[in-house]
Structure 1
Amino acid sequence: MKQLKSILLSVVIFSSLLLGGCQTTDKQTNNKTETAQTTKDVREIAWNSLSDSQKKEVIGEWKEAQVSKTIADTKGFVLTDRSFEGQEVTTVMFRSTKSGLLGDIIKLVDEKSGKVVGAGLRE
Protein backbone atom coordinates (compact mmCIF):
# COMPACT_ATOMS: atom_id res chain seq x y z
CA MET A 1 0.00 0.00 0.00
CA LYS A 2 2.85 2.38 0.86
CA GLN A 3 4.52 1.57 -2.42
CA LEU A 4 1.33 2.39 -4.36
CA LYS A 5 1.04 5.75 -2.57
CA SER A 6 4.67 6.53 -3.41
CA ILE A 7 4.11 5.69 -7.08
CA LEU A 8 0.95 7.85 -7.23
CA LEU A 9 2.74 10.73 -5.51
CA SER A 10 5.62 10.42 -7.97
CA VAL A 11 3.21 10.44 -10.93
CA VAL A 12 1.43 13.55 -9.59
CA ILE A 13 4.72 15.41 -9.04
CA PHE A 14 6.07 14.40 -12.45
CA SER A 15 2.83 15.47 -14.16
CA SER A 16 2.89 18.83 -12.37
CA LEU A 17 6.45 19.49 -13.47
CA LEU A 18 5.71 18.44 -17.03
CA LEU A 19 2.59 20.59 -17.31
CA GLY A 20 4.31 23.53 -15.63
CA GLY A 21 7.14 23.37 -18.17
CA CYS A 22 4.67 23.28 -21.06
CA GLN A 23 2.89 26.35 -19.75
CA THR A 24 6.13 28.36 -19.70
CA THR A 25 6.86 27.32 -23.29
CA ASP A 26 3.35 28.36 -24.38
CA LYS A 27 3.82 31.82 -22.85
CA GLN A 28 7.11 32.29 -24.69
CA THR A 29 5.57 31.18 -27.98
CA ASN A 30 2.56 33.44 -27.41
CA ASN A 31 4.79 36.51 -27.00
CA LYS A 32 6.51 35.76 -30.32
CA THR A 33 3.14 35.31 -32.00
CA GLU A 34 1.90 38.66 -30.68
CA THR A 35 5.02 40.39 -32.05
CA ALA A 36 4.51 38.82 -35.47
CA GLN A 37 0.83 39.79 -35.36
CA THR A 38 1.72 43.42 -34.61
CA THR A 39 4.06 43.59 -37.60
CA LYS A 40 1.44 42.00 -39.85
CA ASP A 41 -1.16 44.51 -38.71
CA VAL A 42 1.13 47.45 -39.48
CA ARG A 43 1.72 46.15 -43.00
CA GLU A 44 -2.00 45.57 -43.51
CA ILE A 45 -2.86 49.04 -42.19
CA ALA A 46 -0.42 50.57 -44.68
CA TRP A 47 -1.75 48.36 -47.51
CA ASN A 48 -5.33 49.41 -46.83
CA SER A 49 -4.32 53.07 -47.11
CA LEU A 50 -3.03 52.63 -50.69
CA SER A 51 -5.09 53.70 -53.68
CA ASP A 52 -6.11 51.07 -56.24
CA SER A 53 -3.48 52.34 -58.68
CA GLN A 54 -0.77 52.11 -56.01
CA LYS A 55 -1.83 48.57 -55.13
CA LYS A 56 -1.48 47.58 -58.81
CA GLU A 57 2.14 48.75 -58.91
CA VAL A 58 3.22 46.87 -55.76
CA ILE A 59 5.57 43.97 -56.44
CA GLY A 60 4.54 40.89 -54.45
CA GLU A 61 2.04 40.78 -51.61
CA TRP A 62 1.47 43.26 -48.79
CA LYS A 63 2.92 40.70 -46.39
CA GLU A 64 6.31 41.15 -48.10
CA ALA A 65 6.56 44.85 -47.25
CA GLN A 66 9.68 45.94 -45.38
CA VAL A 67 9.08 47.32 -41.89
CA SER A 68 11.47 49.56 -39.97
CA LYS A 69 11.48 52.48 -37.53
CA THR A 70 12.24 56.11 -38.37
CA ILE A 71 11.74 59.61 -37.04
CA ALA A 72 8.90 61.43 -38.79
CA ASP A 73 10.03 64.68 -40.41
CA THR A 74 8.91 66.93 -43.24
CA LYS A 75 12.17 66.67 -45.19
CA GLY A 76 11.66 63.11 -46.45
CA PHE A 77 7.97 62.58 -45.77
CA VAL A 78 4.58 64.18 -46.26
CA LEU A 79 2.94 64.11 -42.84
CA THR A 80 -0.85 63.92 -42.81
CA ASP A 81 -0.72 64.38 -39.03
CA ARG A 82 1.88 67.01 -38.13
CA SER A 83 1.67 66.12 -34.42
CA PHE A 84 3.95 63.14 -35.16
CA GLU A 85 6.82 65.32 -36.41
CA GLY A 86 9.99 64.36 -34.52
CA GLN A 87 8.44 61.17 -33.12
CA GLU A 88 9.41 57.59 -33.87
CA VAL A 89 7.00 55.86 -36.26
CA THR A 90 6.98 52.64 -38.25
CA THR A 91 7.95 52.81 -41.91
CA VAL A 92 6.27 50.33 -44.25
CA MET A 93 7.87 50.14 -47.70
CA PHE A 94 6.24 48.39 -50.64
CA ARG A 95 8.45 47.62 -53.64
CA SER A 96 7.02 49.26 -56.74
CA THR A 97 7.15 48.54 -60.45
CA LYS A 98 7.71 52.29 -60.82
CA SER A 99 10.55 52.52 -58.29
CA GLY A 100 13.05 53.58 -60.97
CA LEU A 101 10.82 56.49 -61.95
CA LEU A 102 9.01 57.45 -58.76
CA GLY A 103 10.58 55.41 -55.97
CA ASP A 104 9.04 52.74 -53.77
CA ILE A 105 5.78 53.37 -51.92
CA ILE A 106 6.41 54.29 -48.28
CA LYS A 107 3.79 54.78 -45.56
CA LEU A 108 4.36 55.97 -42.01
CA VAL A 109 2.23 54.21 -39.41
CA ASP A 110 1.79 54.97 -35.73
CA GLU A 111 1.59 51.51 -34.16
CA LYS A 112 -0.11 52.71 -30.98
CA SER A 113 -3.07 54.32 -32.73
CA GLY A 114 -2.96 52.05 -35.78
CA LYS A 115 -3.26 54.90 -38.25
CA VAL A 116 -1.24 56.11 -41.21
CA VAL A 117 0.35 59.45 -40.33
CA GLY A 118 2.34 60.14 -43.48
CA ALA A 119 3.95 58.91 -46.68
CA GLY A 120 7.33 58.96 -48.35
CA LEU A 121 7.98 61.56 -51.01
CA ARG A 122 7.80 60.24 -54.56
CA GLU A 123 8.96 62.14 -57.63
Structure 2
Amino acid sequence: MVGWKQMKTMLILASISFSILITGCDMTNKQTESKTIETQMKDVRETAWSSLSPSEKKEVIGTWKEASITKVIANPQKFYLDDRSYEGKELTVVTFRSKKSKILGDISKLVDEKSQKVVGAGFRE
Protein backbone atom coordinates (compact mmCIF):
# COMPACT_ATOMS: atom_id res chain seq x y z
CA MET A 1 0.00 0.00 0.00
CA VAL A 2 1.20 3.53 -0.82
CA GLY A 3 1.69 5.91 2.10
CA TRP A 4 0.61 9.54 2.26
CA LYS A 5 4.18 10.84 1.83
CA GLN A 6 4.75 8.70 -1.26
CA MET A 7 1.40 9.77 -2.74
CA LYS A 8 2.21 13.45 -2.07
CA THR A 9 5.63 13.06 -3.73
CA MET A 10 4.08 11.38 -6.79
CA LEU A 11 1.49 14.17 -7.11
CA ILE A 12 4.18 16.84 -6.91
CA LEU A 13 6.30 15.09 -9.55
CA ALA A 14 3.28 14.65 -11.81
CA SER A 15 2.41 18.36 -11.45
CA ILE A 16 5.97 19.41 -12.28
CA SER A 17 6.10 17.09 -15.30
CA PHE A 18 2.77 18.42 -16.56
CA SER A 19 3.92 22.03 -16.13
CA ILE A 20 7.12 21.37 -18.10
CA LEU A 21 5.13 19.66 -20.85
CA ILE A 22 2.65 22.55 -21.16
CA THR A 23 5.40 25.20 -21.14
CA GLY A 24 7.33 23.31 -23.84
CA CYS A 25 4.27 23.14 -26.08
CA ASP A 26 3.58 26.85 -25.57
CA MET A 27 7.16 27.77 -26.56
CA THR A 28 6.93 25.57 -29.67
CA ASN A 29 3.73 27.36 -30.72
CA LYS A 30 5.32 30.79 -30.22
CA GLN A 31 8.37 29.80 -32.27
CA THR A 32 6.15 28.47 -35.07
CA GLU A 33 4.07 31.67 -34.99
CA SER A 34 7.22 33.79 -35.21
CA LYS A 35 8.56 31.81 -38.17
CA THR A 36 5.20 32.08 -39.95
CA ILE A 37 5.20 35.87 -39.60
CA GLU A 38 8.82 36.02 -40.81
CA THR A 39 7.98 33.80 -43.79
CA GLN A 40 5.01 36.00 -44.73
CA MET A 41 7.22 39.09 -44.65
CA LYS A 42 9.80 37.40 -46.86
CA ASP A 43 7.09 36.36 -49.29
CA VAL A 44 5.82 39.92 -49.64
CA ARG A 45 9.31 41.24 -50.36
CA GLU A 46 10.07 38.38 -52.71
CA THR A 47 6.74 38.87 -54.50
CA ALA A 48 7.58 42.53 -55.05
CA TRP A 49 11.12 41.62 -56.19
CA SER A 50 9.73 39.19 -58.76
CA SER A 51 7.68 41.99 -60.30
CA LEU A 52 10.71 44.21 -60.97
CA SER A 53 12.06 44.55 -64.49
CA PRO A 54 15.68 43.49 -65.13
CA SER A 55 16.76 47.16 -65.26
CA GLU A 56 15.02 47.89 -61.93
CA LYS A 57 16.73 44.89 -60.34
CA LYS A 58 20.12 46.21 -61.49
CA GLU A 59 19.56 49.56 -59.77
CA VAL A 60 18.48 48.06 -56.41
CA ILE A 61 21.00 48.42 -53.60
CA GLY A 62 21.29 45.15 -51.70
CA THR A 63 18.94 42.17 -51.99
CA TRP A 64 15.17 41.73 -51.82
CA LYS A 65 15.60 40.69 -48.19
CA GLU A 66 16.70 44.22 -47.32
CA ALA A 67 13.56 45.90 -48.68
CA SER A 68 11.52 47.91 -46.20
CA ILE A 69 7.86 47.16 -45.56
CA THR A 70 5.11 49.57 -44.52
CA LYS A 71 1.32 49.53 -44.49
CA VAL A 72 -0.62 52.22 -46.37
CA ILE A 73 -4.09 52.98 -47.60
CA ALA A 74 -4.04 52.80 -51.40
CA ASN A 75 -4.42 56.31 -52.77
CA PRO A 76 -4.21 56.96 -56.55
CA GLN A 77 -2.70 60.39 -55.85
CA LYS A 78 0.30 58.74 -54.17
CA PHE A 79 0.52 55.42 -56.04
CA TYR A 80 -0.14 54.04 -59.49
CA LEU A 81 -2.81 51.35 -59.08
CA ASP A 82 -3.08 48.55 -61.66
CA ASP A 83 -6.57 47.84 -60.35
CA ARG A 84 -8.68 50.73 -59.03
CA SER A 85 -10.72 48.34 -56.87
CA TYR A 86 -7.84 48.48 -54.36
CA GLU A 87 -8.34 52.22 -53.82
CA GLY A 88 -8.91 52.93 -50.12
CA LYS A 89 -7.80 49.47 -49.00
CA GLU A 90 -4.85 48.70 -46.74
CA LEU A 91 -1.90 47.36 -48.73
CA THR A 92 1.75 46.67 -48.08
CA VAL A 93 4.38 48.88 -49.69
CA VAL A 94 7.68 47.15 -50.35
CA THR A 95 10.43 49.71 -50.97
CA PHE A 96 13.79 48.86 -52.52
CA ARG A 97 16.66 51.32 -52.11
CA SER A 98 17.80 52.51 -55.52
CA LYS A 99 21.14 53.66 -56.90
CA LYS A 100 19.08 56.35 -58.66
CA SER A 101 17.13 57.46 -55.58
CA LYS A 102 18.47 61.04 -55.73
CA ILE A 103 17.26 61.38 -59.31
CA LEU A 104 14.15 59.19 -59.47
CA GLY A 105 13.45 58.04 -55.91
CA ASP A 106 13.41 54.52 -54.51
CA ILE A 107 11.42 51.72 -56.13
CA SER A 108 8.13 50.97 -54.35
CA LYS A 109 5.63 48.23 -55.11
CA LEU A 110 2.14 47.86 -53.64
CA VAL A 111 1.34 44.29 -52.65
CA ASP A 112 -1.95 42.77 -51.54
CA GLU A 113 -0.73 40.31 -48.91
CA LYS A 114 -3.84 38.12 -49.06
CA SER A 115 -3.52 37.39 -52.77
CA GLN A 116 0.29 37.88 -52.89
CA LYS A 117 -0.19 40.08 -55.97
CA VAL A 118 1.60 43.28 -56.87
CA VAL A 119 -1.26 45.69 -57.52
CA GLY A 120 0.56 48.98 -58.00
CA ALA A 121 3.72 51.03 -57.65
CA GLY A 122 4.98 54.27 -56.18
CA PHE A 123 5.47 57.21 -58.52
CA ARG A 124 9.04 58.02 -59.52
CA GLU A 125 10.33 61.31 -60.96
Q: Same fold (TM over 0.5)?
A: yes
Cα deviation code 1:38-96 (max 9, x no counterpart): 11111010001001111111001111101001111211211111110111100000000
Unaligned stretches of 5+ residues in structure 2: none
Give 5+ residue unaligned stretches, structure 1.
none
- In structure 1, distance between residues paired with 2:25 and 2:39: 21
Q: Does structure 1 residue 49 correspond to structure 2 residue 41?
A: no
Question: Could you tell me which residue of structure 1 aligns to residue 95 of structure 2?
Answer: 93
Q: How many pairs were matched up?
A: 123
What is the match of residue 109 of structure 1? 111
1:23-102 superposed matches below 5 A: 23-102=25-104
The alignment's TM-score, normalised by the length of structure 1, stands at: 0.90
- Look up the SS of the partner of 1:54 in the other structure: helix
Is 1:119 the counterpart of 2:121 in the alignment? Answer: yes
Question: Aligned-pair RMSD on alpha carbons?
Answer: 1.6
Q: TM-score scaled to structure 2, two decimals?
A: 0.88
